[in-house]
Amino acid sequence: MSDGVRAADLAAGERLTVAVLAGGRSSEHDVSLSSGAAVRDGLLAAGHEVLWVEIARDGVWNHDGQPLSVTPAAGLLAANVVFPVLHGPFGEDGSVQGFLETLDVAYVGAGVAASAVCLDKVLFKEVMAAHRLPQVDYVGVRAESLQGSREQALAVRERVTRLGLPVFVKPAHLGSSVGIVKVGSEDQLHDALEQAFAHDELVIVEAMAPGLEVECGVLGTLSGEGNGSAGAQVSEPGEIAFAGDWYDYGAKYSPGGMELRIPAGISASAREHVERLALEAFAASACEGLARVDFFVDGERVLLNELNTMPGFTPTSVYAKLLEASGVPYPRLLDRLCRLALERHERERAYSR
């Protein structure tokens, strides 16, 4: 670490100074502020010191009401660890993670490559396909394919309609259900794609999967197994219940819009399959620290949908509730994530590069 304090010198339970990053340039700015405030309060409850760094919508970093300047390899505000509670592009996509690497500071969550892969919904699915993990059928569509010849546009339409209807059209690099449109007929497809392209040059079209929406949390590190780390812990799966016909933005963020049922109403064998796939997806994408992994479960059939490297982080968010139901209360969860960040930082600095 930049201040000369090694992770090994910070005993379990010792007070840490944690810089919490929140806000950011993406359309998930407000969700990030809510998550960041909850993380700040939880870290204070765990006995740590917190430095609040708010990233404005224009990308300017502010601390104590003033723009923040940093120096490469000099850390961030002399913090022991940084908790980047950022959602979407410019924060969850590897950009901030790379910036923190240049500062030589420990940070919570996935590294540069895993962050970039997991935020790109198309690339993530291609990686999972390479690992032969069962997942929802999809088609990736780039903006230029609709701006080219009539033949190109017809080819896109044909690939999409092979998925069957309805389908979901999503910007490839956004979360929190931002910009998603459910398409029930072919004549709705063009407008749905145009709407998604307003957010992103790459769009994913996914088949509608039957069954229950089930989510599972992962905490820990697979790379640390055998090195004194406890390895990765997978949570009890939870079932997402909602009133509408799909889990949209309103269901996620409106009071009473969804209900998290723990344990999920699935069979014991399906539960084991979900937990195993969650760890396999975590490992295949080279994640660190934490992830929320989302599935569709129809009887004994389990399909992987997405992996979120920095899910919503209030105490009432799904990830925190899943871990709490699995024996990890919120303040202890935050403390554990910070310790994991310190361990990884020290482990990686031991290599000659």
Q: Which segment of 43-57, 127-141, 170-184 scores lowest on mean pLDDT?
A: 170-184
| DSSP H or E stretch at residue 344 | helix 330-349
Examine the domain organization and report whether 274 and 128 are in the same domain. Answer: yes
- Considering the domain boundaries, does residue 353 fall inside one? no
Claim to verify: residue 165 and residue 243 sit in the same structural domain: no
Q: Calculate what percentage of the chain has a pLDDT beyond 70.
A: 87
pLDDT band at 244 (very low <50, low <70, confident <90, very high): low
Whether residue 216 is found in the same domain as residue 203: no
Residue pointed to by tokens 């709490």: 324
6 included as an active-site residue: no
Mean pLDDT for the chain overall? 89
Catalytic-role residue among 294, 324, 335, 343: 294
The band of 184, judged by pLDDT with boundaries at 50, 70 and 90, is confident
- 24, 75, 111, 312: the catalytic one is 312
Q: Which amino acid is at 195?
A: Q
Q: Which of 131 and 3 is assigned the larger pLDDT?
A: 131
Same domain, 39 and 122: no
Highest mean pLDDT pick, 5-14, 176-185, 241-250: 176-185
Q: Based on the domain organization, do 235 and 171 belong to the same domain? A: no
Whether 164 and 191 map to the same domain: the answer is: yes
Structural domain includes residue 326? no
Whether residue 288 lies in the annotated active site = no
Q: Mean pLDDT, to the nearest integer, of 263-285?
A: 97
Residue 231 has pLDDT above 90, yes or no: no
Q: What is the CATH number of the domain that holds 171?
A: 3.30.1490.20
Q: Which of 24, 27, 28, 343 is catalytic?
A: 28
Retrieve residue 155's tokens: 């080819």
Token pair recorded at residue 183: 């398409």
Angle at 327 between CA 305 and CA 331, to 5 degrees: 95
Does 176 participate in catalysis according to the annotation?
Answer: yes
Kindly name the residue from 176, 235, 285, 317 that is annotated as catalytic: 176
Per DSSP, the three-state class of 89 is coil
pTM value surpassing 0.75: yes
What's the average model confidence in pLDDT over 152-178? Answer: 81
| Nearest CA-CA partner of 145 in 189, 94, 90 | 189
92 in catalytic set: no
Show the domain range for 26.
7-108
Q: Is 277 domain-assigned?
A: yes
Active site residue 247: no
CATH code for the domain in which residue 282 is found: 3.30.470.20
Q: Which of 98, 137, 253, 257 is catalytic?
A: 253
Q: Which residues pair with 218 in a beta bridge?
A: 234, 291
Residue 95 lies in a domain: yes
DSSP string across 203-221: EEEEEPPPSEEEEEEEEE-
Q: Among the three residues 154, 176, 207, which one is the final residue of a domain in this structure? A: 207
- Residue finishing a domain among 181, 207, 233: 207
Average pLDDT for 223-234 = 61
Query: What does the DSSP assignment read for 93-161?
Result: SSHHHHHHHHHT-EESS--HHHHHHHHSHHHHHHHHHHTT--B--EEEEEHHHHHS-HHHHHHHHHHHH
Q: In this structure, is residue 317 part of a structural domain?
A: no
Same structural domain for residues 222 and 200? no
pLDDT at 228: 38
pLDDT classification of 79: cutoffs 50, 70, 90: very high
- Give exposure, 115-147, as e/b (b: 16+ Cβ within 10 Å): bbbbbbbbbbbebbeeeebebbebbbbbbebbe
Residues 130 and 199 in one domain: no
Same domain, 174 and 284: no
Residues 80-119 have pLDDT tens digits of: 999 999 998 899 999 999 999 999 999 999 999 999 999 9
The per-residue pLDDT for 227 is 39
Whether 124 is covered by a domain: the verdict is yes
Q: Could you confirm whether 312 is annotated as catalytic?
A: yes
Confirm whether 173 is domain-assigned.
Answer: yes
Question: Same structural domain for residues 234 and 298?
Answer: yes
Residue 59 lies in a domain: yes
29 and 123 inside one domain: no
CB-CB contact of 128 with 139 (8 Å) = no
Domain count along the chain: 3
Per-residue buried b or exposed e for 336-348, using 16+ beta carbons within 10 Å of the residue's own CB: bbbbbbbbbbbbe
The residue annotated as part of the active site, out of 120, 306, 324, 335, is 306
- Of 202, 232, 239, 196, the closest CA to residue 119 belongs to 202
Collapse the DSSP code of 26 into the 3-class scheme (helix H, G, I; strand E, B; otherwise coil) and give the result: coil
Same domain, 171 and 216: no
Task: Read off the pLDDT band of 246 (50, 70, 90).
Answer: low
Encode pLDDT of 7-26 as tens digits: 445 556 699 999 999 999 98
Has residue 42 got a pLDDT over 90?
yes
Of 153, 174, 207, which residue constitutes the final position of a domain? Answer: 207
Contact yes or no for 91/59 (Cβ under 8 A) = no
Catalytic annotation present for 158 = no
Tell me the average pLDDT across 152-170: 85
Given a cut of 90, is residue 39 above it in pLDDT? yes
The pair of three-digit structure tokens given for residue 180, joined into one six-digit string:
């998603």
Q: Which of 308, 326, 336, 344 is catalytic?
A: 308
Given the residues 40, 271, 292, 344, the one annotated as active site: 292
| 225/204 Cα distance (integer angstroms) | 35
Please report, for the domain that includes residue 97, its CATH number: 3.40.50.20
> Is residue 346 annotated as part of the catalytic site, yes or no?
no
